[in-house]
């Protein structure tokens, strides 16, 4: 199994004007990305937000599907939502993975833009073959803040189709990227 962790972060991300914001959690991000994470054997799906009320909200949604009425209604959904860990920040994700793996993960950020240092999917697939832990970072709103992109070990190249349009939802992009990295 791959040694891949995924985080969806709500800070620091940018709004449509390019200003750094904390975005609100979207319920279907939790469902769709956890279902993809479970499908592709991702170790944990972290949901990062510094806002206490948003963390409470995410935990409440997750509990509904793990221990609440949702668990009996849809056991497959329980298995997906169980991969979610709610956490403050990407620094705390790294710390959590360090506790599990006894080493820091390499950080790979995603972006709809191409950078001179962007790596391709074949390269990242090969890196995952080493068995070393990697943390793949997805941003909400209009994407990750440049400061976060600048600090990463790698930037993954954007998902492109035949057309000159790349405005996928983060839910769809996360699914496609996991499929490109871990699909069979």
Residues that bind a second copy (CB under 8 A): 1-2, 16, 28, 31-32, 35-36, 38-41, 74, 76-77, 79-80, 159-163, 165-169, 171-176, 178-180, 182-184
Give the closest residue to 8 by CA, choosing from 20, 18, 19, 23.
Answer: 23
Cα separation, 133 vs 101, in Å, equals: 7
Taking the complex as a whole, the smallest distance from the CB of residue 151 to a second copy amounts, in Å, to 27
Taking the complex as a whole, the smallest distance from the CB of residue 171 to a second copy amounts, in Å, to 6
Beta partners for residue 85, in sequence order? 46
Residue 80 φ then ψ, to 5°: -75, -50
Taking the complex as a whole, the smallest distance from the CB of residue 95 to a second copy amounts, in Å, to 26
Give the closest residue to 55 by CA, choosing from 26, 31, 88, 29.
Answer: 88
Between 152 and 173, CB nearer to a second copy: 173
Between 31 and 106, CB nearer to a second copy: 31
């Amino acid at each position: 199994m791959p040694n891949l962790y995924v985080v969806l972060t709500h800070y620091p991300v940018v709004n449509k004007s390019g200003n750094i914001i904390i975005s609100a959690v979207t319920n279907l991000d939790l469902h769709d990305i956890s279902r993809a994470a479970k499908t592709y054997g991702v170790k944990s799906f972290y949901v990062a937000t510094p806002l206490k009320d948003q963390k409470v909200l995410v935990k409440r949604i997750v509990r509904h599907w793990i221990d609440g009425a949702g668990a009996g209604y849809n056991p497959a959904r329980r298995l997906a939502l169980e991969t979610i860990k709610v956490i403050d920040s990407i620094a705390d994700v790294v710390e959590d993975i360090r506790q599990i793996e006894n080493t820091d993960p390499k950080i790979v950020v995603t972006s709809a833009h191409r950078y001179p240092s962007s790596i391709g999917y074949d390269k990242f697939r090969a890196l995952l073959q080493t068995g070393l832990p990697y943390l793949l970072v997805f941003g909400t709103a209009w994407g990750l803040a440049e400061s976060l992109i600048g600090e990463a070990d790698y930037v993954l190249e954007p998902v492109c189709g035949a057309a000159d349009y790349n405005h996928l939802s983060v839910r769809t992009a996360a699914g496609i990227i996991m499929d490109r990295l871990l699909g069979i």
